[in-house]
Amino acid sequence: MDSHDSKESSSDQTGVDHPPSFVPPSSRGAYDKNVTIEEYIHYANLTRAEEKIHLPNPDKSTGLVAQVLRRPSVQQSASAIATGGGHESPSANDEKSQRQASAEGRAVISADEWRDASRLMRTASWGAGFYLITTDILGPYGVGFALGTMGWGPGIVLYTVFGFMAGYSGYLLWKIYLGLDSYEFPLRNYGDLAFRIFGPIPRHCVNILQSIQLCLICGQVIIQNGQGISQASKFRLCYVVCILIFVIAGFIFGQIRTLRNYGLMSAVAVGLNLMVIFITMGVMAHSPPNYKISVLGSAGSANDDGSITPDAQGNYPPIRHYNGLPNPNSLLGSINGLMQGVFAYGGAQIFIEIMAEMRRPRDFLKSMIIAQLFIWIVYLSYGCYVYYWQGQYAFQVSYLGLSVYGWSVACNMMAVISGLIAAGLYGNIGIKVLYNNILMDLLHAPALSTRAGKIVFAAIVPIYWSTAFIIAAAIPDYFGFVSVIAAFCIVQFSYSFPPILHLGYTIQKNAARAAMKEGFDPVTGQTTRLDGGVRRYIRGFFADRWYVNAWHVVHAGGALAVAGLGAYAAIQGMIDAFKIPQVTSFTCTSPLNLNA
C-alpha cells in the first residue's frame, strides 16, 4: 500500500514506525515549501554517513585518465542528468517508474525505490570532476591582455586573489551541498541551494540569472571561434558563414544530454588548450606581435594611452611594460581588464551540477583544489609570458594576435574544437536549467529520461544555440561583451552568492537548540521551532564562530562592490563602442579584417 493512501502508521526503510500524518520524502513535490531546512539537514546527514560506509575511497593509485574512462558496473550505470530532469535508467522498469513519478508527482515511488533511483544518478568520479572544472574554467588566452591593462604588480596580485577567492567560494558551495543534499532530497543545481535556504523567489532569480549567463557565455564562445575561423580563412569566407559553421556543429554536439559523457571530451579539450598555449608561447618568442589588429582589441587600445599608434612612417611604438597601472588617468581599461580576471575564474555556476553527478560528493573538494591550482599556475605562467613578449600589443584572444599565419591557423582550429566542447558544456547545463525550471515546472513537460523528454531536449538545442548566436552577434564590442557577462553574472555566482548562501545556511542551522528539543523529528516528520524572526536569526549568527559569519558579510559586500564597479566600466565601454560605426556579425565582413 502506498504511503499517501495509508490511514494507519507506516514504516520507512529503517523500520521506524510513523504516524498517519507522516509524509515520506518520496511523496513530496520537487519544490515543496513545507520541507524545512532542518529536514533537509537530517536526511543529508544520513546520506553522508551511508556514503562513508558503502562508498569507500577509490584506489589512490588510479590516475586522472583512468578515473575519467572508468565506467560503473551495470547496477550503477545510470547516467545522471545534472539539473534534475531524471536519469537514463538501466532498465525499462526504472524508466517506467520515472515516467510514473513525473506524471503523478513522485507519489507512486516507495522510499526504497526513490533512494535507489537517486543513487543511480551519481556516477562521475573525482577525475571526471577535475576535467569538467578545468574545461569550464581553463581559458588563459585573455590573461596577457588583462596584465597589459593593469600592469605587472596589480595584474599578478589580482589574478592570485581572484583565484584564491574562487577556490574559497567553491569550498563554501561544497560545504552547503554536503549539508543539504541527500538521496531523499537530491540537490541538482544552483537554484536548488537558493530555494532550500531562502525560498522560491530567490530560486527563480538565481535560475534566470544562471540561464542568462550560460546563454551569454555560449554566445561569447561562438563569436570568439567564429573570428578564429574567419582569420584562418584569410577573410575569404563570409564572416557570418564562419560563425554559422560553429553554430551548426553545436547543434550536433549539443545533443549529448549527460555531463558524464563529457568526461573524455573534457580531457581532450584540456589537452588542446595546453597545445595552443605551448604553440603560442613558442611563436611569440620568435615573431613580432600582430600590429595590424592591435587597434581592435589589444591592451594598448583598452588603455587609450597612444602606445599602439604608429608614427608618420607607419612604424609602431616598441613593446612596453608597466609595473603599475598603464594609464592612471583612465581607469576604465584597467577595470575592464580586472573583469577579465573575474571572467577567468567563472566556473562556480556549474559546481553544483558537477557535485550532483559524483558518486562521492566529498571528493569534489579534491577535484576543485587540484583544478584551481592547475588553472592558477597556467594562467599566470602563460599570461606573464604573453605580456613579456607582446606588451601593450597583447590581444584579448592571444592566439589571434600571432603574426605568423600558419601557426595562427593551427591554434585557431584546435581552439575551435576545445571551444565547441566548452560551449557544449555551457549549453547542456543552460538548456537543463531552462527545461527543469520552466518547461517542467510551469508547462509540465515530460521528464528528460522519457522518449518525449529526449525529443523535446533535441528540439531545444538548435533554438538555444541560435539565440546565443543572435544575442552575441548583435554586439560589436567583444571585449565589452565579456566585461558585461563578468560584472552582471560571473561575479555573483563565483564571489557574491556563495558567502550569502553559506551565511543563510549557517544561521538557520545554528539557530536550532537541541537542548530545547528544537529541530526535525524523523518519526513524526515534524519540525519544532520555539521562536522565529529576527531574534532567531541573531542567535544563529552568533551561535558558532560568529567571526566567520562576519567575514562572509564583508566578503559578499566586497564582491557586490566589485560587480558594481565592473558594471559601470562595462556599460560605459559599451556606450563608447556603439558611438563608433562598427560591423556586426550579421555581415560578410570580419571585424578582424582591416582591409575591408
275-303: pLDDT as tens digits: 999 999 999 999 999 998 888 778 888 88
**Predicted pLDDT of residue 63:** 52
Poorest-pLDDT segment among 96-100, 168-172, 376-380, 442-446: 96-100
Identify whether 469 is part of a domain: yes
pLDDT grade, residue 328 (50/70/90)? confident
104 pLDDT exceeds 50? no
102 pLDDT exceeds 50? no
**Predicted pLDDT of residue 101:** 43
Rounded distance between C-alpha atoms, residue 452 and residue 458, angstroms: 10
181 pLDDT exceeds 60? yes
**Predicted pLDDT of residue 83:** 39
Which of 266-270, 339-343, 357-361 holds the top average pLDDT? 357-361
75 pLDDT exceeds 50? no
**Predicted pLDDT of residue 279:** 94
Which of 41-55, 230-244, 434-448, 488-502 holds the top average pLDDT? 488-502
For 352-370, what is the mean pLDDT?
Answer: 88
Identify whether 318 is part of a domain: yes
443 pLDDT exceeds 70? yes
**Predicted pLDDT of residue 427:** 81
Identify whether 139 is part of a domain: yes
The answer to whether the CB of 215 falls within 8 A of the CB of 430 is: yes
169 pLDDT exceeds 90? yes
Query: Per DSSP, what are the bridge partners of residue 220?
Result: none
Rounded distance between C-alpha atoms, residue 400 and residue 374, angstroms: 24
* Percent residues over pLDDT 90 in the chain: 23
Cell of 401: 594576435
The answer to whether the CB of 421 falls within 8 A of the CB of 263 is: no
Q: How many distinct structural domains can be found in the chain?
A: 1
18 pLDDT exceeds 70? no
For 132-147, what is the mean pLDDT?
Answer: 78
131 pLDDT exceeds 80? no
Cell of 384: 606573464
386 pLDDT exceeds 90? yes
**Predicted pLDDT of residue 394:** 92
Poorest-pLDDT segment among 87-91, 117-121, 522-526: 87-91
Cell of 46: 544520513
**Predicted pLDDT of residue 446:** 82
Identify whether 45 is part of a domain: no
pLDDT grade, residue 115 (50/70/90)? low
242 pLDDT exceeds 60? yes
Which of 57-61, 352-356, 504-508 holds the top average pLDDT? 504-508
Rounded distance between C-alpha atoms, residue 305 and residue 284, angstroms: 23
Report in angstroms the alpha-carbon separations of 500 from 36, 174, 353, 439.
Answer: 19, 14, 19, 28
Identify whether 535 is part of a domain: no
210 pLDDT exceeds 80? yes
For 122-150, what is the mean pLDDT?
Answer: 78
**Predicted pLDDT of residue 345:** 80
**Predicted pLDDT of residue 389:** 95
Poorest-pLDDT segment among 164-178, 288-302, 544-558: 288-302
This prediction's pTM: 0.80
533-542 helix and 497-511 helix, angle to the nearest 10 degrees: 100
pLDDT grade, residue 99 (50/70/90)? very low
**Predicted pLDDT of residue 517:** 82
Identify whether 104 is part of a domain: no
Identify whether 270 is part of a domain: yes
Name the more confident of 589 and 241.
241
* Percent residues over pLDDT 70 in the chain: 79
**Burial of residue 456, with CB atoms counted within 10 A of its CB: 0-12 exposed, 13-18 middle, 19 or more buried:** middle
96 pLDDT exceeds 80? no
**Predicted pLDDT of residue 531:** 83
Report in angstroms the alpha-carbon separations of 13 from 112, 115, 180.
Answer: 6, 10, 20
Cell of 3: 504511503
Name the more confident of 352 and 85.
352
Question: Containing H/E element for 10?
Answer: strand 10-11
**Predicted pLDDT of residue 55:** 67
**Predicted pLDDT of residue 339:** 77
555 pLDDT exceeds 80? yes
Query: Per DSSP, what are the bridge partners of residue 17?
Result: 11
Name the more confident of 19 and 374.
374
CATH of the domain at 489: 1.20.1730.10
120 pLDDT exceeds 80? no
3-class DSSP state of 303: helix
Q: Please say whether the dihedral angle defined by the alpha carbons of residues 497, 502, 503 and 508, taken in this order, is positive or negative.
A: positive
pLDDT tens digits for 463-484?
A: 888 888 887 777 656 667 777 8
Residue-averaged pLDDT of the chain: 79
76 pLDDT exceeds 80? no
pLDDT grade, residue 113 (50/70/90)? low
261 pLDDT exceeds 70? no
Residue 392: domain span: 127-496
Poorest-pLDDT segment among 22-31, 270-279, 305-314: 22-31
**Predicted pLDDT of residue 107:** 41
Torsion of CA 566, 570, 575, 579, to 10 degrees: 140
Identify whether 339 is part of a domain: yes
